[in-house]
Amino acid sequence: MGWNRADRVTLIRKAIVFVSLIICVLLAVSAGFVLGIAVIYTHLFYLPILLTGIWFPKRAVYVALALGAIHLIVTYLSVIPLSVNEFARVLIFLLVAYVVGLVSERARVEQQRRKQTEATLLESEERFRELFNNMSSGVAIYEAMNQGEDFIFKDMNKAGERIEGITKDALLGKRVTEVFPGVKDFGLFAVFQRVFQTGRPEQHPLALYRDERIVGWRENYVYKLPSGELVAVYDDVTQRKQAEDALRESEARLRFTLENASVGIGTADRDGHFQRLNKAYLDLLGYSVDELRTMTFTDITHPEDRAKSQRYFQELLAGTEHVEFENRFVRKDGSVRDVVIRAGFFPYSNERPHYIVNVVEDITERKKGEEKLKNIVEGSSIPTFVITETHTISHWNAALEALTGISKSELIGSDKQWTAFYPEKRPVLADLIADGAPERDVKALYGDTCKKSPLIDGAYEAEDFFPTLGAAGKWLFFTAAPLKDAKGTIYGALETLQDITERKKAEEELRKYHAHLEELVEARTAELERSNAELQQFAYVASHDLQEPLRMISSYLQLLERRYKGRLDADADDFIFYAVDGAKRMQALINDLLAFSRVQTRGKHFEPTDAERVLGLTLKNLQTAIGESEAEITHDPLPTVLADEVQLAQLFQNLISNAIKFRGDEPPRIHVAVEKEQNEWIFSISDNGIGIEPQYAEKIFGIFQRLHNARDYPGTGIGLAICKRIVERHGGRIWVDSELGKGTTFYFSIPIKEEGASTDE
């Protein structure tokens, strides 16, 4: 068992009193019986009486009675006579014990009261400090300097530290104008001075405080303590102020939106009396606000629609959150407008509707359009159906009944259009269009066969096979287009269908026929290629083999001419000349025939070729002919092309040689030009020669085709055929533009291709 300090002190005090009592008893016995003296020991009796009275006030009288009894007993039994004085001494014991005990008890009670008061004060101070530090509002205590010239910080709670972004230790003892330099402009310093002078509390209204350190909206309440100190209780309401500003801005924006909405928006009480209406609502009805406030919803409703509108109104009163229905309004001028009404009670107060909010959209033009659409759809021979924005079927014509075998009475008013085409529920194309689905969603469902319609904006068309239609299924081509009102809002979709089963069968037959035809063409092409190769080989071999006997004939004829020219008669000389000339022309013809056959067999791979450099080499080769004819040849800057350099040079040489050969009376003027078109270079070689009649523009490119006799214009008639073959090998084309007597322009094209691409044919 533990002993605390108070317990130990009490025990020691009890021991001291007990020991003093024992000593007093012993002294009384010894002094009274031995010495017969009472005065000596009775004085010692006051010690335990005083100690008991001081330490144990309530027991002091008992100790005094005990000691008085002992004294009387000892006196009675001793030689000392028992007198009145002895009883008086006992009374004195009792009186001393009572007085000391009373004084001591009062002192103890006073001490306890004082301790209790101190504890209460300490608890109150701690409670105040706890409250002070845990207030959500900032609290700062100030002491005035020089009768209010400035104010010094004495204390600040934690909320104040958080709001001001500073610690209490950093500002204690500092002047308020030092810590918050904007306090005077803020207006709070003047409030401090007035409260200090008058002692009356004052509210500083919401205002924006700003200095280099902090910016924020503050509310302050200032009062004066009895000690003369000032207390400021304040709140940072920046977020609240921002929220209020945002709310006001939002309300203004909402009010502007409602007032300028394209649809009518209004409110009415539970009895249907109008309260607030926007401009679109007023324009729709033709009444003023004051006129409508004297009317009810029923007053503007067409008589035939009033029962229906009342039914929906009762549904709202019964707890339905919102309703939507079509209705007819009667305008002030008596005209009727078709509308869609979306209404609901808002807000709810104690679960009772407060007022009606209704949004009204004028659909008069749409209804007229729907009526026209109905007449068109019902009378159309094309299978057609129409759905609303809620995917409900509104039209299903007779042609579609015949196609699907489903009557309109089974489907109109439902959203089961899929049952006519698919075994399981899924969107049809019109469903996607009515929802305004993006292109990726449409194609994800219908694949690559689906594409945007080139005729109708926002429409899609597709084709698919439907195995559930008919006995063996059917191929359908279908188009779905959105239905839009005057504002461009989609309110439904129309889908037309076309049975293309027979066309698909025909396409399949045609595909098979094309495949067979391609096989025949491939076989014929291969046969022609073999024949062409054999012909080329034959022409080469024949030309090559003819070279040797021809050289022999030519050599002997030339020898005969040298030896016997002038020795025989004139006819013999002519015969020899004709024979030699024929052999030379035969040699030229064989050489040209070899060149023609080698265009395909001896051609080089195409490489980037500088056409201007090739033209320069060609002109050097023709330098003698150019000089003799006094020809003037010019050219544009020529590009680099992908070509066979040797064949390109031969092409230039043949065309320029022809321009020099077929010249008129004036010296030749030849110009080489080039133009870049989309995917090819167009070269042209123009001259001022004798020209060609237009009817021969194609003939001249044939092999052995000549327009003039060999005496006037020597040649074999193969040059332009070689040109055509070279151009065609390069993947180009060649043609002529000429007029007799006015010169000629030959054109040829070379495709623009990257290096490595092949144009060999």
Fill in the DSSP letter of residue 55. H
At 437-469, the pLDDT tens digits run 888 888 888 887 788 888 888 889 888 888 888
Sheet holding 322-330, edge to edge: 274-277, 264-268, 356-362, 336-345, 322-330
35-39, 99-103, 736-740: range with lowest mean pLDDT: 35-39
- Residue 423 identity: P
Domain 603-751 homologous superfamily, CATH? Histidine kinase-like ATPase, C-terminal domain (3.30.565.10)
41-45, 107-111, 476-480, 664-668: range with lowest mean pLDDT: 41-45
620 CB burial (10 A radius; 0-12, 13-18, 19+): exposed
pLDDT grade for 636, boundaries at 50, 70 and 90:
very high
Per-residue pLDDT, 710: 47
pLDDT over 80 at 475, yes or no: yes
Handedness of CA 85, 87, 88, 92 (dihedral sign): positive
Q: Choose between 378 and 633: higher pLDDT.
A: 633
- Tell me the mean pLDDT in the region 668-677: 91
Per-residue pLDDT, 255: 76
Please give the helix or strand (H or E) that residue 600 lies within, else none. helix 570-601
At 240-296, the pLDDT tens digits run 888 888 888 877 787 777 777 778 888 888 778 888 888 888 888 888 888 888 888
Do 731 and 759 meet the contact criterion of CB atoms below 8 Å apart?
yes
pLDDT grade for 628, boundaries at 50, 70 and 90:
confident
Give CA–CA dist 494/464, Å, rounded. 18
Per-residue pLDDT, 109: 80
121-130, 531-540, 567-576, 617-626: range with lowest mean pLDDT: 531-540
Fill in the DSSP letter of residue 35. I
Give CA–CA dist 626/623, Å, rounded. 5
Per-residue pLDDT, 298: 86
Enter the tokens of residue 395: 């039209």
Give CA–CA dist 166/163, Å, rounded. 8
220-224, 333-337, 375-379: range with lowest mean pLDDT: 375-379
Give CA–CA dist 476/514, Å, rounded. 24
Q: pLDDT > 90: what percent of the chain? A: 8
Domain limits, the chain: 5-108, 135-243, 261-367, 380-597, 603-751
How far CA 619 is from CA of 164, 625, 631, 652, 656, in Å, comes to 95, 10, 11, 9, 9
Q: Look at the block and give the residue holding tokens 């317990």.
A: 7
Give DSSP secondary structure letters for 380-431.
-SS-EEEEETT--EEEE-HHHHHHHS--HHHHTTSS-GGGGT-SS----HHH
208 - beta bridge partners?
217
pLDDT over 80 at 618, yes or no: yes
Per-residue pLDDT, 541: 60
pLDDT over 90 at 684, yes or no: yes
Q: What is the CATH number of domain 261-367?
A: 3.30.450.20
pLDDT grade for 613, boundaries at 50, 70 and 90:
very high
Mean pLDDT of the residues in the chain: 80
Instruction: List for the chain the helix, strand, coil content (%; round to 5).
Output: 50, 20, 25
Beta-carbon contacts of residue 741 (< 8 Å; ≥ 6 apart): 664, 690, 691
CA atoms within 13 A on the CB side of 595: 22
Per-residue pLDDT, 751: 92
Do 50 and 65 meet the contact criterion of CB atoms below 8 Å apart?
no
Per-residue pLDDT, 309: 85
Beta-carbon contacts of residue 66 (< 8 Å; ≥ 6 apart): 21
pLDDT grade for 747, boundaries at 50, 70 and 90:
very high
What's the distance, Cα to Cα, between the start and end of the chain in Å?
A: 121
At 59-99, the pLDDT tens digits run 878 787 887 787 777 777 766 666 777 777 778 878 877 78
Give CA–CA dist 38/455, Å, rounded. 144
Residue of 595, 580, 515 lying closest to 550 (CA atoms) = 580
- Residue 55 identity: W
pLDDT grade for 634, boundaries at 50, 70 and 90:
very high
Q: Which fold has domain 380-597?
A: Beta-Lactamase (3.30.450)
Per-residue pLDDT, 758: 47
Give CA–CA dist 212/276, Å, rounded. 48
Give CA–CA dist 404/377, Å, rounded. 16
Enter the tokens of residue 254: 């909402």
Count of CB atoms situated within 10 Å of the CB of 260: 10
Per-residue pLDDT, 376: 77
Per-residue pLDDT, 675: 92
pLDDT over 70 at 573, yes or no: no
Enter the tokens of residue 319: 């707890």
Q: pLDDT > 70: what percent of the chain? A: 81
341-345, 709-713, 741-745: range with lowest mean pLDDT: 709-713
Whether the full predicted model's pTM is greater than 0.75, yes or no, is no
Count of CB atoms situated within 10 Å of the CB of 71: 22
Do the domains 603-751 and 135-243 match in fold?
no
How far CA 349 is from CA of 317, 346, 598, in Å, comes to 13, 9, 102
Residue of 613, 609, 605 lying closest to 642 (CA atoms) = 609
Q: Choose between 433 and 521: higher pLDDT.
A: 433
Per-residue pLDDT, 759: 45
Enter the tokens of residue 139: 């609290």
pLDDT grade for 674, boundaries at 50, 70 and 90:
very high
Give CA–CA dist 315/294, Å, rounded. 24
Do 301 and 309 meet the contact criterion of CB atoms below 8 Å apart?
yes
Do 202 and 222 meet the contact criterion of CB atoms below 8 Å apart?
yes
Count of CB atoms situated within 10 Å of the CB of 314: 10
Per-residue pLDDT, 242: 82
347 - beta bridge partners?
none
Give CA–CA dist 697/690, Å, rounded. 14
pLDDT grade for 760, boundaries at 50, 70 and 90:
very low
The count of residues in the chain is 761
pLDDT over 80 at 192, yes or no: yes
Give CA–CA dist 454/461, Å, rounded. 9
pLDDT grade for 639, boundaries at 50, 70 and 90:
very high
Give CA–CA dist 538/516, Å, rounded. 33
Give CA–CA dist 244/94, Å, rounded. 82
- Tell me the mean pLDDT in the region 23-44: 64
- Tell me the mean pLDDT in the region 103-115: 81
Per-residue pLDDT, 761: 42
pLDDT over 90 at 620, yes or no: no
- Tell me the mean pLDDT in the region 400-424: 87
How far CA 504 is from CA of 422, 443, 475, 498, in Å, comes to 20, 22, 7, 12
Please give the helix or strand (H or E) that residue 233 lies within, else none. strand 230-236
CA atoms within 13 A on the CB side of 254: 6
Residue of 378, 381, 383 lying closest to 420 (CA atoms) = 383
Do 45 and 67 meet the contact criterion of CB atoms below 8 Å apart?
yes
Region for residue 413 given its phi and psi (left: phi exceeds 0; alpha: psi -120 to 50; beta: otherwise):
left
Per-residue pLDDT, 749: 93
How far CA 474 is from CA of 151, 444, 500, in Å, comes to 96, 22, 8
pLDDT over 70 at 2, yes or no: no
Per-residue pLDDT, 389: 87
Count of CB atoms situated within 10 Å of the CB of 259: 11
Enter the tokens of residue 607: 């490489």
252-256, 307-311, 637-641: range with lowest mean pLDDT: 252-256
Per-residue pLDDT, 586: 58
pLDDT over 90 at 683, yes or no: yes
pLDDT grade for 595, boundaries at 50, 70 and 90:
low
Q: For strand 632-635 and strand 669-676, is the pairing parallel, antiparallel, or unpaired?
A: parallel
Enter the tokens of residue 280: 């679109």
Do 52 and 63 meet the contact criterion of CB atoms below 8 Å apart?
yes
pLDDT grade for 689, boundaries at 50, 70 and 90:
confident
Beta-carbon contacts of residue 389 (< 8 Å; ≥ 6 apart): 434, 490, 491, 492
Do 257 and 250 meet the contact criterion of CB atoms below 8 Å apart?
no
pLDDT over 50 at 632, yes or no: yes
Domain 135-243 homologous superfamily, CATH? PAS domain (3.30.450.20)
